[in-house]
Amino acid sequence: MKIKFVSLLLILFVVQTAAAQTVKEADPADVSSVDAIMKAVYDVISGDAGKARDWDRFRTLFHKDARMIPTGKNPQTNVVRATSFSPEDYIKRVEPVFAKEGFHEREKARHTESYGNITHAFSTYEAFRSLSDKTPFMRGINSFQLLNDGKRWWIITIYWQAETPDNLIPKKYLKSGK
């Protein structure tokens, strides 16, 4: 019985070690600065309909406890709500959409504040179905909370809201600045 228990522990250790070794490390160029990590996020989620995204790269940008939180008002009920996802839940949610529709998100402007190891960035975005589109089908603001652990940048939270006719993006967020 004792041998079976020790064997089981050894197998679990080997499986855990193997799994830990298969986790992709972040490309240092993606996590070396606030500009780099935000560029990487926009890059990895953007693509034409049916184009596979590099979800392994996406995962490397996020802290293990990271959250992604879309918010907005339901047009039928006028109820404002926020829904919290892990990056993994986000992938599951958007993959079917990205398989059918192109989605290219570009940063239009950014307002950033930092203190110690934390940075908050209000990143105004525009979304297009195709790179050739001249007019975005959607705009909004992504609120990024970022952490620098002394070695690299991590995304802690992306909290966003799309622009609506009754909630236009303020002009101050359409140009970069403090």
pLDDT tens readout for residues 23-69: 689 999 999 999 999 999 999 999 999 999 999 999 999 999 999 99
| CATH number of the domain within which 34 lies | 3.10.450.50
Question: Is 33 a member of any domain?
Answer: yes
Confidence of residue 122 (pLDDT cuts 50, 70, 90): very high
Question: Is 107 a member of any domain?
Answer: yes
The tens digit of pLDDT for each residue in 79-119 reads 999 999 999 999 999 999 999 999 999 999 999 999 999 99
Q: Report the percent of the chain where pLDDT is more than 90.
A: 82
3-class DSSP assignment, residue 32: coil
The model carries a pTM of 0.84
Full residue range of the structural domain in which residue 62 is found: 25-173
Question: Is 18 a member of any domain?
Answer: no
Question: Is 2 a member of any domain?
Answer: no
Separation between Cα atoms, residue 10 and residue 162, nearest integer Å: 50
Question: Is 38 a member of any domain?
Answer: yes
Separation between Cα atoms, residue 130 and residue 102, nearest integer Å: 6
User: Radius of gyration over alpha carbons of the chain, in Å?
Assistant: 19
Question: Is 15 a member of any domain?
Answer: no
Question: Is 54 a member of any domain?
Answer: yes
Our count of domains for the chain comes to: 1
Q: Is the pLDDT of residue 7 over 50?
A: no
Question: Is 157 a member of any domain?
Answer: yes
Confidence of residue 5 (pLDDT cuts 50, 70, 90): very low
β-partners of residue 159 are: 69, 143
Q: Which two tokens stand for residue 55?
A: 């979800």
* E runs forming strands in 100-162: 104-115, 118-128, 138-148, 153-162
Q: Which of 92, 91, 72 is nearest to 82 (CA)?
A: 72
Q: Which two tokens stand for residue 93?
A: 């949610």
Q: Is the pLDDT of residue 155 over 50?
A: yes
